[in-house]
Amino acid sequence: MSSLISDDYVIRAIRADEWQAVKRLRLDALRDPVAHLAFLETYEKAAAEPDAFWQGRAERSGEGAAGARQFIAEGPDGAWVGTLTVLVEEAGSTDWAGFAVDRKQGHVVGVFVQPGYRGTGLTEALFAAGVEWAWGIGAERVRLIVHEDNGRAQGFYRKVGFVPSGVIVPLEQASGESELEFVLEKS
């Protein structure tokens, strides 16, 4: 592949009825060699979830959903080769780690691009779509959490404009390990 994505790839929000493809792509992501650094979920746990779990996940993050939006990169053959999800965190709420949310923000999670498509511009295109959606719903900033040892991801996030905020999130399931918050402020 070239260093830029082809016009043949489409970046779009998922639809609720595409839950089986959502499941397949998530399981692919959880089999990635760095999944233990990138995701708080294991392949075994996700694979054991019933269909209703995946149906609900797609419904809550598909087109028209208010609290989240999952974007995918779809190839000319219909294959899904990348994804990211933006969760909406409202001012006055508490996030998944127990931190207070002081303003409306988007929280990027579940970033994954199939190995053969990395470095092609698809990840940048997914981020552009996710950030644009967050701004469009009134988010004042977009953030993400990245493992302290995931240098490759941190480098990419800096490349697309995110910077460390200084917030450190201890990982309960991995004693002594932490994740770092990166943010992109709305200009």
Q: What is the pLDDT of residues 112-146, one digit of tens each?
A: 999 999 989 999 999 999 999 999 999 999 999 99
| pTM greater than 0.95 (yes/no) | no
Is 169:180 a contact under the CB 8 Å cutoff? yes
Determine whether 55 is exposed, middle or buried from the number of CB atoms within 10 Å of its CB (0-12, 13-18, 19+): middle
Q: For 59-116, how does the pLDDT look when each residue is reduced to its tens digit (9 = 90+)?
A: 999 999 999 999 999 999 999 999 999 999 999 999 888 889 999 999 999 999 999 9
Distance between CA 33 and CA 138 in Å, rounded? Answer: 36
Dihedral (C-alpha) 140, 101, 57, 149: value to the nearest 10 degrees? Answer: 90
- Which residues neighbour 162 within 8 Å (Cβ) at sequence distance 6 or greater? 142, 143, 144, 182, 183, 184
Is the Cα torsion angle 21, 112, 132, 107 positive or negative in sign? positive
pLDDT given for residue 6 in this prediction? 62
Exposure b/e, 80-96, CB count within 10 A at least 16 = b: bbbbbbbbbbeeeeebe
